[in-house]
């Protein structure tokens, strides 16, 4: 299990990466991240929404209300052009950090 | 099934948002809880267990309220813009003006590039100093977490500011001419603005931007540390 400090730092990257595949509402977004990381990254409601609102204020994502096929209203988030722009340097920075940690700890697969 | 909307409304009292926004937040969180609850039921949990597991997602509602208030606060992007653009931009502008005034006071004379009537002044020592000031503006912006665009804009900030001042001189000049009763010559004023623009805006702008660009190319990568994304 990954420690909470690292999780906080990777959270934005996780959200931006998952939203790159298409718009999602908060619950589905959290589920998708959990599935794709085999449970290593888990977002509770209390962790997820303040982060989504902050990212929305930074204009990396945009939320809008949509009605699903079963008539439920959900707020869907999608990546903005600014979010797309943010994603590639963020990926590069984290890859760099992990490579550095790998070299430092001499661990094969950090 | 619990009334999730009502539960969220009760527990998130005191959200410092306008009514419509508060309603949206409550609806969104309630929808999330409802979805979680439904999923737990699908997994075979009893209604009581499912409710318990759903509510468990928020251990401290007041803490959540504070976090939502902070995240939604409008001032944040403005504050960032101030730190990443306006402060470094105005610093560059002030330093550029102070440098020019100091050089003039020290007796440096502007270099005349061509003869009248199309005389263009170049203040060579000032132009040589400007790349450093541009680099400084970009550095201050980057230090505050500014993007490459903000850093470059901060480095050449004196140009749009002075352009505004120059352009405002055009109508003011015309009004003065009109008040004095003389016929305003648009082409004359336009030509003066154009040649002054080259000497006082275009070349200084290029010098400032060159410094900012150079700073970003040489040190831009280093300042963009992953720490910026770790909260």
Walking along chain B (231 residues) 10 residues at a time, the average pLDDT comes out as 89 83 92 92 92 90 90 68 87 91 82 63 84 93 80 89 79 76 68 75 89 85 38 29
Determine which helix (DSSP H) or strand (DSSP E) holds B111, and give its type and residue range: strand B111-112
| Closest Cα in chain B to A9 | B230
Interface of A with B in 35-94 (CB under 8 A): 44-46, 48-51, 53-54, 57-59, 65, 72-75, 89-90, 93-94
- A39-65 per-position pLDDT tens digit: 888 888 988 999 999 999 888 999 999
Taking the C-alpha atoms of residue B136 and residue B219, their distance in angstroms, rounded to an integer, is 12
Q: How much is the mean pLDDT over chain A?
A: 84
Return the exposure string of B177-210: e unless at least 16 CB atoms fall within 10 Å of the residue's CB, then b.
beeeeeeeeeeebeebbebebebbbebbbbbbbb
Position B42 scores a pLDDT of 93
The structure tokens listed for A59 are: 């204009």
CA B125/CA B104 separation, integer angstroms: 10
Domain ranges of chain B: 4-59, 76-219
Nearest-5° angle of CA B161, CA B167, CA B172?
A: 125
**Of residues A27, A51, A94, nearest to B226 (C-beta):** A94
Q: What is the ipTM of this complex?
A: 0.84
- E strand spans, chain A: 24-25, 61-67, 73-79
Q: Which residues, including other chains, have CB under 8 Å from residue B103's CB and lie 6 or more apart?
A: B123, B125, B126, B129
Subunit contact A9:B226, Cβ cutoff 8 A: yes
Residues 12-31 of A with CB under 8 A from B: 12-13, 25-27
- State whether residue B68 sits within 8 Å of chain A by CB: yes
Q: Which of B27, B32, B229 sits opposite A93 (nearest CB)?
A: B229
Chain pair A-B, CB pairs under 8 angstroms: 79
């Amino acid at each position: 299990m990954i420690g909470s400090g690292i999780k906080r730092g990777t959270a934005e990257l996780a959200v931006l990466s998952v939203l790159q595949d298409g718009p999602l509402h908060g619950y589905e977004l959290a589920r998708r991240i959990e599935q794709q990381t085999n449970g290593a990254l888990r977002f509770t409601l209390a962790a997820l929404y303040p982060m989504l609102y902050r990212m929305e204020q930074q204009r990396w994502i945009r939320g809008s209300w949509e009605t699903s096929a079963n008539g439920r209203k959900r707020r869907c988030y999608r990546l903005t052009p600014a979010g797309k722009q943010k994603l590639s340097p963020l990926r590069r920075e984290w890859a760099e950090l992990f490579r550095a940690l790998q070299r430092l700890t001499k661990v094969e697969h950090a | 099934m619990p009334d999730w909307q009502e539960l969220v409304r009760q527990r998130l009292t005191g959200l410092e948002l306008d009514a419509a926004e508060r309603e949206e937040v409550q609806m969104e969180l309630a929808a999330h809880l409802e979805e979680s609850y439904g999923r737990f039921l699908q997994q075979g949990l009893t209604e009581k267990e499912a409710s318990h597991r759903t509510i468990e997602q928020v251990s401290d509602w007041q803490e959540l309220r504070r976090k939502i208030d902070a995240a939604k606060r409008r001032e944040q992007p403005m504050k960032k813009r101030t730190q990443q653009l306006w402060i470094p931009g105005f610093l560059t502008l002030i330093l550029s003006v102070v440098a020019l005034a100091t050089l003039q006071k020290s007796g440096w004379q502007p270099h005349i590039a061509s003869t009248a009537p199309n005389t263009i002044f170049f203040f060579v020592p000032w132009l040589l100093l400007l790349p450093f000031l541009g680099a400084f503006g970009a550095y201050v912006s980057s230090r505050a977490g500014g993007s490459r665009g903000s850093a470059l804009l901060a480095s050449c900030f004196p140009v749009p500011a002075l352009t505004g001042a120059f352009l405002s001189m055009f109508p003011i000049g015309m009004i003065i001419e009109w008040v004095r009763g003389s016929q305003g010559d648009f082409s004359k004023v336009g030509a003066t603005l154009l040649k002054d623009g080259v000497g006082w805006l275009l070349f200084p702008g290029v010098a400032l931007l060159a410094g900012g660009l150079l700073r970003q190319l040489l040190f831009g990568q280093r300042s963009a540390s992953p720490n910026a994304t770790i909260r």
